[in-house]
Structure 1
Amino acid sequence: MCSVVPPQVYETLKKVIEGNIENFEIVVHDANKKGEGFLGEVVFVTLENKQSNEVINLVVKQAFTKQSIRDVGPIREAFMNEIYFYDQVWKRLNKFQERIPMQSQSHKVPKYFTSTSEDGSEKLVLENLKFKKFEVHNKKIPLDKQHFEFIFREYGKFHGLSFAYKSLYPEDFANLAKELLDIFLVFINGDGFKKAVKNINDLAMDSLQPGIDDAVIEKFRPSVENCVEHFKESIDCNTKYTVITHGDCWSNNMMFKYSEERKLIDVRFLDFQLSKEGSPCCDLSYCFYSGAPKELLKDLDYFLKVYHDSLSETLKAFGCDSGKLYPFQELKNDWKRYCKMGVMMSLMIWKIKCTPEENVIDFNDTRPAEEKEKIFQTGYDQDAFKKISRSLILHLYENDFL
C-alpha cells in the first residue's frame, strides 16, 4: 500500500502516472541484495490500477542519501550522468535510428519512465524486466560462446548508432557527447581507486609462477608499475574512433532472455552511470575479459569479427561505410591500446566474483575503514582468483597486448 512507500519514492512514482495516483495500488517488493548497489539502492515497485487492472512493474534506482557515503564517491555525478544518457543521448539516438529497418536497429536499453535530479535525492524509474522473463546471469558462472556472440552482435548495433550519427551529424554528436561526464576519470583521480588499481595489478602479478612464467613476469612488470597511468591512457578519447560507450559492461549489468530450450533470444544493457565518449574497445574488453572462461580467450578474433560484421551491417543501413568509419584492422589496433582499461576492471570484477556472499562489502556498512580493508584483502577465494588472473595475463602476453 501507499503507506509502505518511502515518501520520496512516492513523489517520483506520481510523475510516472501523470494523473491520480490514488487510483493505483502500490506494492513495494524486496530491494537489491547487500553490496549489489555500488552507488545506490534499487527498489522494485508494482503499480496496479484499481479500475482498469493495468499493471506497471518498475525499478526505482535511488542514490545513497547518507552524506558520509556520498562524500567518498561521485554518487551525484554518476546518477546525473545516467539521467542525461536516458533524457538526452538515448532519446536522440533512438529517434535517429527510426530511419533504418527495424532489424538493423538497437533496442537493448530498458524503457525509461522518469527521473528526479534533486541533489541528495537522485532517482531513475525504469521498467522491471523480470516481468518480461529477463534474468541476470549467475555471476559465478563464466559466459559461454552463445552469450558473447549475442552481446558482441548487439554492441555492434549500439556502437554503430554512434558512428553513423557522428558521421552524418558531427557537430550534434560532439555537443551531445561532451555533456557526458567521465566518471572513470573522477574515480582514477581519487586515492581509493588508485589504490584498488595498484592492488589488483599486484595480485595479478602474484598469480604468475616464477621459474615457469619468467618471460611473462618481465613483460608484465612495467604494466604493474605504471598501472594507474595505463588506466588513464586507456580511458582517454585520443582517437578518432570514438562512440557513446555503455561503460560498465560486466554481466551483472545485463539481463538475458531465453527460449524454453534455454537458447539466448534477447538481452538488455543496464546501468549507464559510467557512459561516456570513448573507444568501443573499452566496452568490448571489459565485457569479454570479465566474463570469458580460459577456453574462450583464444577466440577473441572470432568475437571481434562478429562485432565488426554487425557494426558494418548497421552502418550500411545508414548509408555509411565501416571501411572508412572503423576498419577491422583499426579495431584490432585499438584493442591493443584500449583493452588495458577492460583488463583492470575485469580483474576487479573477478575478485568480486570470487568473494563469498557473506564477505561482500555493503556501502551502508558502518564498520571501521581498516576492518573493511582487511575483508577486501583476504575475504575471497585466492586460489580461484589466481587461476583466472594468470590465464588472462598469459593471454595478454601471447597476443602482445601487454
Structure 2
Amino acid sequence: MTEFEFDSHMSDLSVEQRELIANVFKEHEFKDIKIKVQPVGSEGDNFGANVKRIIGEKDDKTFKIIAKIAPKTEMLRVMANTVIFFKNEHVMYTEVLPKFTELEKAANIPKEERLRYATCYGTYLEAPNEMILLEDLEVPGYKMLDKVTSLSDEAVKLVLKNFAMLHSLSYALKYEQRETFEKFCQRLVNTWVLMAGVPEMIDYFEKLEVDVQTLIDDDKYKNAIKNTIGQVILRASELAKTYSSSKFSVIQQGDSWTNNIMFRLEDDRAVECCMIDYQLSKRSSPVADLHCLIFNCTDYATRAKHFYDWIDYYYLQLDKRLAKFELKTEEVYPRYQLEADLKLFAKFSLGHAIVMAGLVFREAGNATELKKAMNNDDPNKYMDGMIEQTKLSTSDPATIKKFKTRLEELVDSFIEFGYINASKIV
C-alpha cells in the first residue's frame, strides 16, 4: 500500500492539494491509510466553496479535518471573488486570529475565556487550487443549527459575546500595535467595494429588487424596500469609505449568518459558539457584525422581545473585555457612536437581509439549478442564469410566502427600532 490512498470522491483534487492533506495527516501520525471524504452541509449551503470532511482512520483512532476547496469554473471564480475570499480567510486564520491569541496570552486571559476559532492545519493559495484545512468542530461537539429557524436569546448572546471578544482584540491591537493593525486591514479586501466597480453586479441587484417588488402588495413594504436591494452594493461601498479612516473601526467577522456559526449544546441549549467563516472579514464598524447577526438570524418576535437587551449585553461584554487591556469603552467606542452606527448601517443592512432571506428560503431543487448556473463559463449565460435562478417570483407558493413573511418582519423591526421611516425612505 502507498503511504496514502485517496478515495474516488477526491479524484478532482490537484497534486498540491493532496500533498497538503497528506502532510496534515502525517503530522498527526496517520500514515499508510485510506483517506475518505464526506460532503458537508446540503445543497444551498456552500456556493463559494466546496466544503468536505476529510477522514483518516488507523487502528482505533480517527482524525477528521474540514477542507474548504475553491471552485475551478473561471466565471464563478471571477464573480464570487474566489481569490480574494481565500486570501482573506488565509490572513485571518494564519495571522490575525493567532495575533489575537498572543494578545490574550499577554493579558493573562485564561484559555477558557479566549476567543474560540477552528485550528488551521494549512492553506494553499495558488489559483485555481486554493484550499484551507481546518479543525472539524463536530469532533469537540459543535453543530450547525437550522438556518430557517430563529436563534434563541441564549444563542444570540453567545455570538454577541464572541463579537465583543473579537472587536475588543481589534481595538487592543490598534492601540498597542497600530502598524500591525493597519497592515492586517490593508490585506483584508472589502469585496463590496470591488463589486461596486462591476456594472453587471449592480445590474443584478437592481433586477433582483424589481423581482422582489412584484411580490409585495402593501405600499408600506413597497416604500420601505425601495432602493434597498438595488443600492446595497453602493451603500456598502460608501460605508467602507466612511470607516476606512474611522478611529472606531475594527476587523469584523463579516458574514455572521446561521450557517457560519457552530454551537455546542447541553440539554438542547447553546452553551458555546464558534465562528467558522472569515472570507468576508474586513475593516468596518462593530455594528456591521451586530446587524448581520440580528437581522439575518432571528425572527420578528425574538427581536421585538430582546433587541435592546442584546445591544446592552454586547456593550457590557465589550466593556469587560476592553478592561482586560486597560482600555476604556467610553474612549474606544462610546455608546453614542454605537447608537449612531446602528442607524448609519440600517439601509444597507435591510437590503442585505432581504437578499439573504432569498438565499435562506430557496428550496433545495432551485439550489441545485443555481449551482449549475454558477458553473457556466459563458459570461452572458452566467449572469442570465444567476438572475433567473435567484428570482423569488418563480419559486413555489410556500417559498414565496415564507420569504414575504421574513421581508415584512424585517421592515417592521427596522421601523419599530427607529432605523428607517417607511413613508420617507428613498
**Normalising by the residue count of structure 2, what TM-score does the alignment of the two structures yield?**
0.85
Counterpart among 25, 28, 47 of residue 37 in structure 2: 28
Q: How far does residue 353 in structure 1 lie from its aligned partner after superposition?
A: 1.9
Q: Residues 30 and 56 of structure 2 are in contact (CA less than 8 Å); yes or no, is this contact kept in structure 1? A: no
Counterpart among 362, 374, 386 of residue 388 in structure 2: 374
Counterpart among 231, 234, 247 of residue 229 in structure 1: 234
Query: 1:14 aligns to what?
Result: 22
Kindly indicate whether residue 291 of structure 2 is the aligned counterpart of residue 285 of structure 1.
yes
1: CA distance, partners of 2:212 / 2:293:
18
Map 1:150-299 to 2 at 5 A.
Answer: 150-202=158-210, 209-210=217-218, 213=220, 221=226, 223=228, 226-236=231-241, 237-238=243-244, 239-259=246-266, 261-298=267-304, 299=306
**Number of matched pairs:** 396
Q: How far does residue 271 in structure 1 lie from its aligned partner after superposition?
A: 1.2
Q: How far does residue 54 in structure 1 lie from its aligned partner after superposition?
A: 4.1
CA separation of 1:388 and 1:396: change in aligned 2, threshold 3 A: same
Letter in 2 for 1:101: I
Kindly indicate whether residue 61 of structure 2 is the aligned counterpart of residue 48 of structure 1.
no
CA RMSD across the alignment:
2.6
Unaligned runs of 5+ in 2: 421-426
2: CA distance, partners of 1:221 / 1:373:
19
1: CA distance, partners of 2:104 / 2:36:
36
1: CA distance, partners of 2:44 / 2:232:
26
1: CA distance, partners of 2:272 / 2:217:
41
Q: How far does residue 68 in structure 1 lie from its aligned partner after superposition?
A: 3.7
Q: Residues 2 and 10 of structure 1 are in contact (CA less than 8 Å); yes or no, is this contact kept in structure 2? A: no
Q: Residues 201 and 227 of structure 1 are in contact (CA less than 8 Å); yes or no, is this contact kept in structure 2? A: no
Q: Residues 229 and 352 of structure 2 are in contact (CA less than 8 Å); yes or no, is this contact kept in structure 1? A: no
Query: 1:86 aligns to what?
Result: 93
CA separation of 1:67 and 1:74: change in aligned 2, threshold 3 A: same
2: CA distance, partners of 1:226 / 1:119:
31
2: CA distance, partners of 1:31 / 1:288:
25
2: CA distance, partners of 1:346 / 1:187:
18
2: CA distance, partners of 1:202 / 1:393:
17
CA separation of 1:59 and 1:28: change in aligned 2, threshold 3 A: same
Q: How far does residue 389 in structure 1 lie from its aligned partner after superposition?
A: 1.0
Q: How far does residue 56 in structure 1 lie from its aligned partner after superposition?
A: 1.8
Letter in 2 for 1:379: S
SS in 1 for 2:145: coil
Structure 1, residues 262-282: CA drift from partner, whole Å, max 9, x if none? Answer: 111111101111111111111
**Normalising by the residue count of structure 1, what TM-score does the alignment of the two structures yield?**
0.89
2: CA distance, partners of 1:227 / 1:69:
21
Map 1:382-393 to 2 at 5 A.
Answer: 382-393=400-411
CA separation of 1:196 and 1:396: change in aligned 2, threshold 3 A: farther
2: CA distance, partners of 1:38 / 1:357:
13
Q: How far does residue 134 in structure 1 lie from its aligned partner after superposition?
A: 1.3
CA separation of 1:198 and 1:100: change in aligned 2, threshold 3 A: farther
CA separation of 1:306 and 1:49: change in aligned 2, threshold 3 A: same
CA separation of 1:217 and 1:11: change in aligned 2, threshold 3 A: same
Q: How far does residue 12 in structure 1 lie from its aligned partner after superposition?
A: 1.4
Letter in 1 for 2:349: G
Q: Residues 245 and 275 of structure 1 are in contact (CA less than 8 Å); yes or no, is this contact kept in structure 2? A: yes
CA separation of 1:188 and 1:49: change in aligned 2, threshold 3 A: farther
Q: How far does residue 371 in structure 1 lie from its aligned partner after superposition?
A: 4.8
Letter in 2 for 1:388: R
Query: 2:67 aligns to what?
Result: 60
Unaligned runs of 5+ in 1: none
